[in-house]
A and B are shown apart, each in its own frame.
Chain A
Amino acid sequence: MAVAARNKKSARRRQLEAAINYPIDWLEERSGLVGGIKYFIFRKVPGDTNWFHTLGSATLTAFLVQALTGAILAMYYKPDPQSAYQSIQHITNDITLGWLVRGMHKWGASVFIILMFFHMARVFLFGAYKYPRELNWIIGVMLLAIGMLEGFTGYLLPWDQTAYWATVVGINLNGTAPFLGPFLADFLRGGAEIGGETISRFYAMHMLLIPGLIFALIGLHLYLVIRLGVTSPPWSSAAAGSEAAGEEPRTNGRSGLTQPAARSGWRRNGGEG
């Protein structure tokens, strides 16, 4: 049938298709990107994935919104003690749509952190952190930690009383860590006391260092998600090992907490285990 349909295509249509395919083929031949994206979009996932599996992508979306709105806020924000507060007031009260973009960034920060916790809760409750996904849990914990560091460094930037004293308390809290705490506190402040140094280094960390690190870790995180596949829910009828009739459950000699999670997509996508 497909053949018949193809034969009916007019010359014009074939020409059009060739014109559309040409750049795609060009890109694919030189980069393999098209095949890669197809693999990503059409990879196998368990049939009973559900809405809870979207929490990770929701977190990713929240982060991308932060990155975009943050980059735009940086065009108007002035990170020095004399003008930081005024520039924030200017963004909120005077600049067209400034209130909106600042609001998105401010509220979005909380959304990002909350979604991260929801996503973590789903991974925990589904047992999706078990073999072979422990490493992705560990990367996730790093993302959680530096995600909160991102929030901490951003909180100082409005440079109002709340920002200032919250940062005083937050830095001193870090200072009470045993052994290296006092040095960590000095490093964060850029000296013995909070001052102009503190706001510029918080800005640099908030704008460049930490987001870069988060992007890199998200890349690793998603690489592992794609390589290992996602887990089906614990109530899945297709539990570990039962998909192929008569096969022993493959537990890799592990039991209890380190047992493989239910029905690994990893195997279905060609992995072993």
Chain B
Amino acid sequence: MTEPQHGDRPHLPGPSLYPIAFAAGVACILVGLIVNPKIIVPIGAVIAILFGFLWARDATEEFRGEPVHAIEPESGGPPESTDAPAIPANQGEDAMPAPEPGERFPRNRFLEGATLGLGAVIGGLVTVPAVGFMIVPAFKGQGYPKVDLGPLENFTEGRWFVTKFFMHPGSDGEVSHRTAYIRNNGQLDGEPSFTIISNRCAHLGCPVQPNGPVQDNQKKEIDGKAGQRITMIPVIPAGGYGCPCHGGQYDVEGNRVSGPPTRGLDRYEFSVVDGHLILGKPYSVTRVDGEGKTARIHKYKLAGPGQHVDGWEQILYPLQPPH
């Protein structure tokens, strides 16, 4: 490849008005298409073709070996020549003292500061809201809705039910499908007592399965409000619960028996309203002493699976997002 040899020669050919006339012709066609296709478009076309041809002829002159227009010397400018020979730029007296190495001028410093400062302000104005928009919504409007699980009579005393429901039937539908193991413990001090165990494994959150027969033939489905559907299947989790993912095992009350889970299974609070069982907030459990309605539950604020809520390891998780 050859290095282009322009030297000090001016670029050729000089500025031409043909492209502008060509563009005017094209504009004329476009306007004509809207205003009057029959008359104005042909006029525009003629202009565009004519000046397009002239432009192309001009632009390719050099290649077709035509003599190139000579550039006329510029008129005006400083008066030609005095007697003294011109002084080359690198000789004679300096117009301005050369700056010391590293010397800065106030204006230069100001411009640098202004550029950086303004850049930072503009960058911040754009970035801060965008990043906030990315992060903050994930931590807002959380919390657990109260889910109506149906009349108390559906929960036969002393039996376990695999109970499936939608956490947010309206907004998230099928995706908010959740499962709990529920047992009606009968009355305690005149109040109804329920054990409601979450199926979220305390290792990394897989769905734990009951170790015992699930009586699918006695499945009951109850449709609730706003797309809610409660599915109840009697189950006998004689061997507690087991996790399909990494083999974590729990007893019937959700105590960890073996495997990688860090604590027992989470549970849900509950209330009874108008004879219906209402699911409340979930909470974390390290251990349950005893069984059924008299069980002593070691209850903690809800933490994610795999996080320790007691022991020295709890210092690793000092803060929880607002749930």
Contact across chains for A195 and B168 when beta carbons are under 8 A apart:
yes
Contact across chains for A172 and B205 when beta carbons are under 8 A apart:
yes
Binding site for B on A (CB under 8 A): 18, 21, 24-25, 28-29, 34, 81-82, 165, 168-169, 171-173, 175-176, 178-179, 181-183, 185-187, 189-197
B2 within 8 A of A: yes
Contact across chains for B245 and A182 when beta carbons are under 8 A apart:
no
Binding site for A on B (CB under 8 A): 1-2, 4, 63, 135, 137-139, 141-144, 167-168, 171-176, 204-207, 245, 303-307, 316-321, 323
Contact across chains for B204 and A193 when beta carbons are under 8 A apart:
no
Contact across chains for A178 and B323 when beta carbons are under 8 A apart:
no
Nearest-neighbour CB distance to chain A for B195, whole angstroms, equals 22
Nearest-neighbour CB distance to chain A for B279, whole angstroms, equals 14
Given A25-B1, A81-B175, A195-B176, CB of A178 within 8 Å of CB of B204: no
Contact across chains for B172 and A196 when beta carbons are under 8 A apart:
yes
Chain B residues with CB under 8 A of A197: 138
Chain A residues with CB under 8 A of B323: 192
Chain B residues with CB under 8 A of A181: 304, 307, 317
Chain B residues with CB under 8 A of A189: 138
Contact across chains for A172 and B306 when beta carbons are under 8 A apart:
yes
Contact across chains for A172 and B204 when beta carbons are under 8 A apart:
yes
The 4 closest A-B pairs by CB, nearest first: A176-B306, A175-B304, A178-B316, A172-B205
A172→B321 CA distance, assembly (Å): 14
Q: Which of A29, A82, A178, A179 contacts B173 (CB 8 A)?
A: A82
Nearest-neighbour CB distance to chain B for A241, whole angstroms, equals 35
Nearest-neighbour CB distance to chain A for B80, whole angstroms, equals 33
Chain B residues with CB under 8 A of A194: 175
Nearest-neighbour CB distance to chain B for A210, whole angstroms, equals 14
A168→B317 CA distance, assembly (Å): 19
Q: How many A-B residue pairs have CB under 8 A?
A: 93
Contact across chains for A186 and B138 when beta carbons are under 8 A apart:
yes
Contact across chains for A193 and B167 when beta carbons are under 8 A apart:
yes
Q: Which of A25, A82, A169 contacts B204 (CB 8 A)?
A: A169
Which chain B residue has the least Cβ–Cβ distance from A209? B134
A28→B63 CA distance, assembly (Å): 20
Contact across chains for A179 and B176 when beta carbons are under 8 A apart:
no
Nearest-neighbour CB distance to chain A for B214, whole angstroms, equals 18
Nearest-neighbour CB distance to chain A for B135, whole angstroms, equals 6
Given A175-B306, A182-B304, A182-B321, CB of A187 within 8 Å of CB of B135: yes
Given A181-B317, A187-B138, CB of A195 within 8 Å of CB of B175: yes
Which chain B residue has the least Cβ–Cβ distance from A18? B63
Would you mind naming 10 contact pairs between A and B with Cβ atoms under 8 Å apart?
Answer: A81-B173, A171-B205, A172-B304, A175-B305, A178-B317, A182-B321, A186-B321, A195-B171, A195-B172, A197-B138
Contact across chains for A183 and B321 when beta carbons are under 8 A apart:
yes
Q: Which of B138, B167, B316 has most chain A Cβ within 10 Å?
A: B138
Nearest-neighbour CB distance to chain B for A272, whole angstroms, equals 22
Given A24-B1, A196-B175, CB of A190 within 8 Å of CB of B307: no
Given A191-B142, A192-B142, CB of A169 within 8 Å of CB of B175: no
Chain B residues with CB under 8 A of A21: 1-2
Nearest-neighbour CB distance to chain B for A198, whole angstroms, equals 9
Q: Which of B2, B205, B207 contacts A25 (CB 8 A)?
A: B2
Nearest-neighbour CB distance to chain B for A20, whole angstroms, equals 10
Contact across chains for B320 and A182 when beta carbons are under 8 A apart:
yes
Chain B residues with CB under 8 A of A175: 304-307
Contact across chains for B317 and A179 when beta carbons are under 8 A apart:
yes
Which chain B residue has the least Cβ–Cβ distance from A180? B319
Q: Which of B167, B173, B206, B306 has most chain A Cβ within 10 Å?
A: B306
Given contacts A182-B321, A185-B304, 6 further A-B contacts (CB under 8 A): A21-B2, A29-B4, A165-B206, A165-B245, A187-B138, A190-B137
Chain B residues with CB under 8 A of A182: 303-304, 307, 317, 319-321
Which chain A residue has the least Cβ–Cβ distance from B308? A176
Q: Which of B2, B144, B174, B321 contacts A81 (CB 8 A)?
A: B174
Q: Which of A25, A168, A173, A186 contacts B139 (CB 8 A)?
A: A186
A173→B305 CA distance, assembly (Å): 8
A135→B292 CA distance, assembly (Å): 61
Chain B residues with CB under 8 A of A28: 1, 4
A187→B136 CA distance, assembly (Å): 8
A29→B321 CA distance, assembly (Å): 58
Nearest-neighbour CB distance to chain B for A131, whole angstroms, equals 30
Which chain B residue has the least Cβ–Cβ distance from A20? B1
Given A168-B204, A183-B321, CB of A176 within 8 Å of CB of B304: yes
Which chain B residue has the least Cβ–Cβ distance from A24? B1
Contact across chains for A176 and B321 when beta carbons are under 8 A apart:
no
Chain B residues with CB under 8 A of A190: 137-138
Chain A residues with CB under 8 A of B174: 81
Given A81-B175, A182-B319, A196-B172, CB of A34 within 8 Å of CB of B307: no
A171→B304 CA distance, assembly (Å): 10
A10→B2 CA distance, assembly (Å): 18
A21→B1 CA distance, assembly (Å): 7
Nearest-neighbour CB distance to chain B for A84, whole angstroms, equals 10
Chain B residues with CB under 8 A of A173: 204, 306
Contact across chains for A179 and B139 when beta carbons are under 8 A apart:
no
Chain A residues with CB under 8 A of B175: 81, 194-196
Contact across chains for B204 and A192 when beta carbons are under 8 A apart:
no
Chain A residues with CB under 8 A of B317: 178-179, 181-182
A178→B308 CA distance, assembly (Å): 10
